[in-house]
Structure 1
Amino acid sequence: MSEQISFSSVNPFQLLPGSVHPFGATLNDKGCNFSIYCPDAEAVFVCLFDENEQAIAQIALQERIQSKWFGCISNVEAGQFYGLRVKPKQHKNLIDFSVEKLLIDPYAKSLSRAINWDPNQYQGDSHAMVPKGVIIGPANQEFMPQTVPAAERIVYEAHIKGLTKLHPDVPNEHRGTYIGAMHPAVISHLQTLGVTSIQFLPLMSFMPEPFAVAKGLTNYWGYNPVNFFAAEPRYACKDALAECKLMIQTYREAGFEVILDVVFNHTAEAGAHGPVLSFKGLCANHAYIIEQNDETDHAEFINYSGCGNTIKVADTYMQSLILDAMRYWVSEMGVSGFRFDLAATLGREQNEYRSHASLFKMIQQDPLLKTAALIAEPWDIGPGGYQLGHFPASWMEVNDKFRDCVRGFWRGDKALKGEFATRLMGSRDVFRKNLRPMHASVNNVTYHDGYTLHDLVSYEQKHNLANLEENRDGHNHNVSRNYGVEGETDDLGVIALREQQKRNLFATLILSQGTPHVLGGDELSRTQKGNNNAYCQDNELNYFNWNLSDNQQQFLAFCRYVIALRQQHPLLQQMHFADDQFSNQENIAIAEWYRRDGSHKRDIDWVNHEHHCFALHIVGTQTSMKQAQQQWVFCINSADAPKQFELDVLAQPNRWKCMLDTACNDQQDCKSSHIDGLFEMPAHSMRLFKSI
């Protein structure tokens, strides 16, 4: 192939001396500098396209320093479409591909369109299938992370499309888009709910897997990236970059943190037989963990992600790329933090997880990133992949132990009372005193990859036939209960019990020590009809239904009330004990556990499998001589029958007010109820009393 090709009679593009830094396409006063990392190339070509994606020039980069190819091309301006082609060194070609494959620049900040798998367009020259990078100008504004105090943080997980696709106040043309997600009605709902941090499912460009496309499905969630910089075009009306950035700015101005769910553990290129889209053609052996066997003539992609490949985070180029992408999303796009999918991969060095891995250290010392909110999904499927509690002290971690215990306790499972108390008080068996802050535990009862809250109390079996995998996909261990009927029902007794259990689960989530994580739509009683793996459902199974029934309206009001209760009282937000020296703060003077007869809990009581009741008395430190110590009493009964409680601490009715009763539909009713030391706790209920 010739070094320079023009596809028109007039060729305004000339190759000039360039700079090895920075990577990607960078405009300057001479044109555009291109710097590409490609260690095993015989030649690297920059391909330019017009606005119809028709090729107009192909220019071979002439300068190389070690593995970096670079050069400056004149007359290239913002908005120019481009791609890359590589002629590999045959003796180092781990992947079977040729110069015909058009490659996406890993540092492209914008893509011309969404990428969709098409086997016919991929054959031979793949440029018809592969979107083009779009050259952008310099940022006109730089941001710092806008974080909220850790004790106040309540995370709300949402999908850009599902959030607004059915919203009646959002114009039709904006539904399911970045513009729709910033509609005042959506912002108002989130503000009224009381959450502080919006965690969006992946916004980086992705491609649905070929096996899903072949079945007429898609990857709705977006956990299959092709690029770590470019905003996903599927959610754009016109300009994904501009609209995504404007949406994030709008959330910032409304006072929210925006947390970006990122996938730095694999890409859409899958394994050895997957498509060549970007990294495989440029630096496969550096981008992915690959093993070569003398008995085979091909590379074996190690699959710790379950998606065909695993990013080689220990490689210096990939570390730089990940850090550059994070800085870009913080400083230029305006996000305040990240939730890392399968985050154990980030700590893998020599294929083993290390809690002090070099990438963690780089993030911690980075002046921009060290102030961002960092949330780990603390596992992958590789050896030693479950690492809950073993991330750096400044990180938060998704706590699946909290999820399973709280679900099981309220379902009525035995032998969970002691663990439930531990989860309620910050999971200090996992996040140790003196070493980790209380908010390190990201508590959740539901997440995007499982049942919704409404389905958790409505289904005991997964119903995933719509995924076209014969119901084999998705978890079988859901710790759910349907209370007598599988799925929706007209039985008023079953409905009432389900609503009460939803209140129990949500109240426990919000009032437990740690960082609450709310699955978006749970407050609206969203259902996926029992599908616990709706990753491929781009339809009403995943879209929020904003037309609420009376029961749904009542539950939304309850969610708002409980969140406000937490946010109004610092003792409920974060408890600081004298024996926890992680910080020198202290706001708890007394914490005492009681049996329902009013006597103190003994060690044997925590392992008594027949008891499902207890009380917790919290006394705050005295902040001034004039102000009384604030006190709270939690009373909990997860049994299937009502239980008598006799608590001397509540024997003075004029000193206490009931602030929460999950047996009540309307929480205003509980505030006027008479309080006595001897009372009956309804089955499946929680009460919270505050001193006055």
Structure 2
Amino acid sequence: MLSLTTPTLPTLNGTRFAMPALHKHMQFHYPLPYGAILQEAGVQFAVYSRSATAMRILLYRRTSDREPYRVVELNPATDRWGDIWSVFVPGLKAGQLYHFQADGPFTPEEGLRFDPRARLIDPYARALAGDFQSSTDGVVRPPRCVVVEDQFDWQGDRHLKIPLSETVIYEMHVKGFTKGASRDVKNAGSYLGVIEKIPYLKSLGITAVELMPIHEFPILDPFGNKPERQNYWGYDSMAFFSPHRGYMAGDKPGDQVRQFKEMVQALHSAGIEVILDVVFNHTAEGNHMGPTLNFKGLQNDVYYMLNDDGTYKNYSGCGNTLNGNHPICREMIFHCLRHWVHNYHIDGFRFDLASILSRDRNGELMPNTPMVEIIAEDPMLADTKIIAEAWDAAGAYQVGSFAKGRWAEWNGRYRDDIRRYWRGDSAVTGSMATRLSGSSDLYEHSGRDPYHSINFITSHDGYTLNDLVSYEQKHNQANKEDNRDGDNNNYSSNYGVEGPTRRKAIVELRLRQAKNLMASLLLSHGTPMIVSGDEVLRTQRGNNNAYCQDNNLSWFDWKLVERNSEMLRFCEAVIAFRKAQPTVRRATFLTGKPHKAGDLPDVSWYSPGGDAMDWSHATQSLICVFSTTGLETPIARNVMLLLHPGPSEQKFQIPSELRRLPWKLFFDTSAAAPLDVYPKADGPELPARGSLQVTHHSMLCYVA
């Protein structure tokens, strides 16, 4: 007996699609949303292709099956609505494995690359299972798509909505964070393993984890072989709607969906937000020599930017460029972001090589492209953080000019200027002051605020903090590219010996410099981002491009938590201080003026001699005072920083107008633990005469 109840599709991508009512003996199925949507009596499949002449669904029972047990042919007369191919297949359930397969023209010079033998990953697949299978017939057999049941008991979980100005970001790799802790973690290298390490994240004090790519990417090569250089970082997406199966505990198809949600829920319960690093600039299909996995075999000329001869524009440096400002591709990205926000409660996104989103369909840079505006204005994303890596591999560098409004940016200028200052470069004192105070030169003109500057010293791409103060040359031989890969200009120093050393003076200096860099980062206006492991001085042995190192070189070494406990204690104290003190994380730009007569200016700059800084003759050393003026909270404290990157001891004279305040030492990076930091900022008082001899390469912080 047919029910006359109007069935309702599950919510997908933030939109709920209602099905038409049944009419006598016929059931009508709406052709959207895209993907494989589970219904009570079966599964509705929908995929876009303008130029396909035929479409099939290949159904599999097991991930090991090389051939489908059933092929569903779509009828162009009844199963095609415009350029959307859609069919309802009764009897299918959650866990069903499938591929699409499309016929059409193979005319690469015209941009079309249909292959009737190719097994295609659904662009909207919400989970993949298995892996690429070995091939003797030239057919690429990629992981299977999985029909997913989206029900999950979130137990009232919602976005945390921590203001960006109060955020401390911790960039981490899901697998790498726990894989090196196999003795301590039951589910090492997985989403569930991250849950086991949440107590560590809480004790560190960070407020958000920024996960390196977790969208599905290849583990094996398209013919089932383990590649010589493993894709550890994951910047080769092939299914934007699916959590990576390689970070799943166990091998049940689709179970990564549940496990990822459990991880997000647990992090939220601990007060930690989840930001995703998303790669909407290229895919795993590569250039004209690469495999056909999905987009090439469905509508190559729409999903990619092409040259006139049908070859691929390559603004990503990875062989192809996703055509993000084509309406179809733009719609997919838009639905994808909503999918992660609604179905996974994700709190924000960091857009890899985001300048590509500023390129029109011809590849030309233009202001406020539709994609950039959609992301900023979409109401479902209104509570999320949106962060741009404001450059690409084709020379675009838009730090400070990527967009307006809500967009924050990785501040590459901050990274370079702070590194150069502490290395002791000349003529960078003014730049250091600008970066400490929020980079107004980059963000104020566009109406943005200091917290739109994502400040960082290191990231996954480059040296670790330990290596930044231990190596002057990159050492990437393990990548098997003859050390040609990776950046040659790192603004680093080894302080006398390249790499590890037992020379006590160099070891102490490196630790001091690591503390100087970390303290500068955490006490700068803007939003700080720390790389996982920097707080315990993790090393990659001088490798500044460890994209292919899925091993101990890249994994978090948990022995360092005890071995480098001094650095960890220092970081925990400075993070806690930052979170407690609005003085060092104002939400508006500093003015250099007092809020009212008799107050200190909100920021003051002095030379080591105690005079107001003359920027035309600035010395390397610097006194900076962030005052409480205008802050209507009793917890605010005045903060005075003494920065000395020079190679010899320096006398500092505190100005008389500051000596009337009861300053107490918070930290001194030149002192040995435990006197290097006083977590309650209750260290020794400032000498009455206000005169201090400051050790070379060191930083002091006083609080009043």
CA-CA distance at 1:619 after TM superposition: 2.4
Q: Deviations over 1:179-233 (max 9, x none)?
A: 11111xx111111111100001111100258599776220100000101011111
Q: How does 1:273-672 map to 2 (within 5 A)?
A: 273-293=289-309, 299-349=310-360, 350-382=362-394, 384-432=396-444, 435-548=447-560, 552-574=564-586, 576-577=588-589, 589-606=601-618, 611-621=619-629, 630-649=637-656, 652=659, 655-666=662-673, 668=675, 671-672=682-683
CA-CA distance at 1:588 after TM superposition: 8.0
The answer as to whether partners of 2:376 and 2:386 remain within 8 angstroms in 1 is no
Q: How does 1:214-253 map to 2 (within 5 A)?
A: 216-238=228-250, 239-253=255-269
1:43 counterpart residue number: 54
The answer as to whether partners of 1:426 and 1:513 remain within 8 angstroms in 2 is yes
Matched, 1:682 2:698: no
Counterpart-to-counterpart distance in 2, 1:479 and 1:596: 25
The answer as to whether partners of 2:451 and 2:587 remain within 8 angstroms in 1 is no
1:264 counterpart residue number: 280
Matched, 1:60 2:73: yes
Percent sequence identity over aligned pairs = 34
1:9 counterpart residue number: none
The answer as to whether partners of 2:111 and 2:306 remain within 8 angstroms in 1 is no
Q: How does 1:106-117 map to 2 (within 5 A)?
A: 106-113=123-130, 115-116=131-132
1:12 counterpart residue number: none
Q: Deviations over 1:517-542 (max 9, x none)?
A: 10001111100010000000111001
The answer as to whether partners of 2:666 and 2:703 remain within 8 angstroms in 1 is yes
The answer as to whether partners of 1:378 and 1:391 remain within 8 angstroms in 2 is no
- Which of 171, 174, 196 is equivalent to 1:160? 174
CA-CA distance at 1:270 after TM superposition: 0.4
Counterpart-to-counterpart distance in 2, 1:412 and 1:458: 15
- Which of 111, 126, 144 is equivalent to 1:94? 111
Matched, 1:178 2:191: yes
Counterpart-to-counterpart distance in 2, 1:439 and 1:33: 44
Counterpart-to-counterpart distance in 1, 2:652 and 2:33: 68
Change (3 A) 1:391 1:209: farther
- The one-letter amino acid paired with 1:103 is L
Counterpart-to-counterpart distance in 2, 1:259 and 1:497: 34
Counterpart-to-counterpart distance in 1, 2:164 and 2:463: 27
The answer as to whether partners of 1:18 and 1:34 remain within 8 angstroms in 2 is no
Three-state SS of the structure 1 residue aligned to 2:603 is: strand
Counterpart-to-counterpart distance in 2, 1:346 and 1:190: 33
Counterpart-to-counterpart distance in 2, 1:504 and 1:485: 20
Change (3 A) 1:267 1:525: same
Q: Deviations over 1:482-511 (max 9, x none)?
A: 011111011111100000000000000110
CA-CA distance at 1:578 after TM superposition: 7.1
Change (3 A) 1:16 1:25: farther
The answer as to whether partners of 1:439 and 1:513 remain within 8 angstroms in 2 is yes
Counterpart-to-counterpart distance in 1, 2:575 and 2:370: 38
Three-state SS of the structure 1 residue aligned to 2:241 is: coil
CA-CA distance at 1:97 after TM superposition: 4.8
Counterpart-to-counterpart distance in 1, 2:658 and 2:118: 78
The answer as to whether partners of 2:609 and 2:654 remain within 8 angstroms in 1 is yes
Counterpart-to-counterpart distance in 2, 1:359 and 1:654: 51
Counterpart-to-counterpart distance in 1, 2:325 and 2:592: 34
CA-CA distance at 1:415 after TM superposition: 0.9
- Which of 47, 58, 78 is equivalent to 2:94? 78
- The one-letter amino acid paired with 2:646 is A
Change (3 A) 1:389 1:90: closer
- The one-letter amino acid paired with 1:663 is S
The answer as to whether partners of 1:215 and 1:468 remain within 8 angstroms in 2 is no
Counterpart-to-counterpart distance in 1, 2:589 and 2:561: 43
Change (3 A) 1:551 1:497: farther
1:148 counterpart residue number: 162
The answer as to whether partners of 1:445 and 1:505 remain within 8 angstroms in 2 is yes
Counterpart-to-counterpart distance in 1, 2:50 and 2:153: 34
Matched, 1:195 2:206: yes
Matched, 1:126 2:134: no
The answer as to whether partners of 1:393 and 1:437 remain within 8 angstroms in 2 is no
Change (3 A) 1:622 1:667: farther
Q: Deviations over 1:259-303 (max 9, x none)?
A: 01110000000011110000000011110001223xxxxx11000
Counterpart-to-counterpart distance in 1, 2:630 and 2:37: 59
Counterpart-to-counterpart distance in 1, 2:370 and 2:137: 40
The answer as to whether partners of 1:376 and 1:396 remain within 8 angstroms in 2 is yes
Counterpart-to-counterpart distance in 2, 1:148 and 1:462: 37
- The one-letter amino acid paired with 2:514 is K
Three-state SS of the structure 1 residue aligned to 2:285 is: coil
Counterpart-to-counterpart distance in 2, 1:384 and 1:437: 23
Q: Which moved more, 1:680-689 or 1:448-457?
A: 680-689
Q: Which moved more, 1:274-283 or 1:321-330?
A: 321-330
- The one-letter amino acid paired with 1:24 is G
* Structural RMSD (CA): 2.6
CA-CA distance at 1:567 after TM superposition: 1.1
The answer as to whether partners of 2:220 and 2:227 remain within 8 angstroms in 1 is no
The answer as to whether partners of 2:178 and 2:185 remain within 8 angstroms in 1 is no
Counterpart-to-counterpart distance in 2, 1:170 and 1:462: 32
- The one-letter amino acid paired with 1:474 is G
Three-state SS of the structure 2 residue aligned to 1:229 is: strand
- Which of 202, 207, 216 is equivalent to 1:205? 216
1:7 counterpart residue number: none
Counterpart-to-counterpart distance in 2, 1:300 and 1:588: 61
- The one-letter amino acid paired with 2:696 is A
- The one-letter amino acid paired with 2:173 is H
- The one-letter amino acid paired with 2:171 is E
The answer as to whether partners of 1:35 and 1:69 remain within 8 angstroms in 2 is yes
